[in-house]
Amino acid sequence: MATRESGLIRPRRLRSGTCMENPPLTPDANGTTRMTTGDAFLDPFSRPRLAIVLVIAAFALTGLFYLVPGIDIAISGLFFRAQPCAEGVTNAVCGTFPLASDSTLNDVRDFFHQMPIVVAILLLIAAVSISIRGDTSLQRLATGIYVALAALIVNSLFIVNLWLKSYSGRPRPEQTDLFGGSLPFVPAGEFTDFCATNCAFGGHYFSDAVIAAVASVATFAVLASLARVMGLGKTVPASTAR
């Protein structure tokens, strides 16, 4: 470890005789000098191993729900209320999802749909303000916000909305013949052409919610790891307080 002699911090001497530089020194609110490094930036999400594990977990969960579609069917069935089919209707199963028409739940859903956008805007304003002021003490916070917003855009906009919802072709539960619709049930991870646009992904099935949650964290971890490797989270060394 580093030693303190005559008010100076000497570098630690390794067994091989070489010296290892001390990490940057920054004073705290009391003027005390402390050692800081950029290695803990967004830790533990900035650890490449964790990012790899989360990406593998997202694909593994997709494989699980694909191989065991009964999980989605059983959980969707808990919210489905079967009803006698009207005269002339040839569907094998008729019924509705009562909670889908609950105005209170719809308001709560709409609130949580809009809340991330509002929070993202406020965080962006805060990060840009920090960057403009050049406040080095908060620069890592601003960088973390940029990484989080980038992950939100990549995952929610590009992966979910522009790719999966547009090209997966997976019918929503109420569109399938298992729950009063006319289209076949499609397991998670399978791409079809049954649905042209705004297809099921992001919460219409239990598998959607679970995979989307893990994928969101995985996206953030990947970007955080890249930011750490690029040195974006390093603090600016401050002069030693006297």
In this predicted model, what pLDDT tens digit does every residue of 118-171 receive, in sequence order?
999 999 999 999 999 988 888 889 999 999 999 999 998 899 888 888 888 899
Residue 68: is its pLDDT beyond 70?
yes
The pTM of the full predicted model, rounded to 2 decimals, is 0.75
Specify the pLDDT at position 60.
Answer: 97
Give backbone dihedrals phi and psi of 150, rounded to 5 degrees, phi first. Answer: -65, -40
User: Between residues 34 and 100, which one has the greater pLDDT?
Assistant: 100
- Find the range with the poorest average confidence among 28-42, 123-137, 157-171, 199-213: 28-42
Q: What confidence category does residue 232 fall into, taking pLDDT thresholds of 50, 70 and 90?
A: confident
Residue 22: is its pLDDT beyond 60?
no
Specify the pLDDT at position 23.
Answer: 47
Q: What confidence category does residue 31 fall into, taking pLDDT thresholds of 50, 70 and 90?
A: low
Reported for 144-153, long-range contacts at CB under 8 A and 24+ positions apart, including other chains, are 144/41, 144/42, 144/233, 147/42, 147/220, 147/223, 147/224, 147/227, 147/232, 148/123, 148/220, 149/120, 149/123, 149/124, 150/223, 151/216, 151/219, 151/220, 151/222, 151/223, 151/224, 152/116, 152/120, 152/216
Residue 35: is its pLDDT beyond 60?
no
* CB 129 within 8 Å of CB 123: no
Q: Is the peptide bond before 44 cis (omega within 30 degrees of 0)?
A: yes
Specify the pLDDT at position 203.
Answer: 59
pLDDT digits (tens, 9 = 90+) for 45-55: 999 999 999 99
Judged by DSSP in three states, 52 sits in helix
Specify the pLDDT at position 241.
Answer: 40
Specify the pLDDT at position 137.
Answer: 84
Residue 219: is its pLDDT beyond 60?
yes
- Find the range with the poorest average confidence among 31-40, 60-69, 115-124, 185-194: 31-40
Place of tokens 């969101």: 216
User: Between residues 1 and 183, which one has the greater pLDDT?
Assistant: 183
Tell me the average pLDDT across 174-190.
91
Q: To the nearest whole number, what is the mean pLDDT of the chain?
A: 82
Residue 26: is its pLDDT beyond 90?
no
Specify the pLDDT at position 54.
Answer: 96
Specify the pLDDT at position 21.
Answer: 46
Q: What confidence category does residue 30 fall into, taking pLDDT thresholds of 50, 70 and 90?
A: low
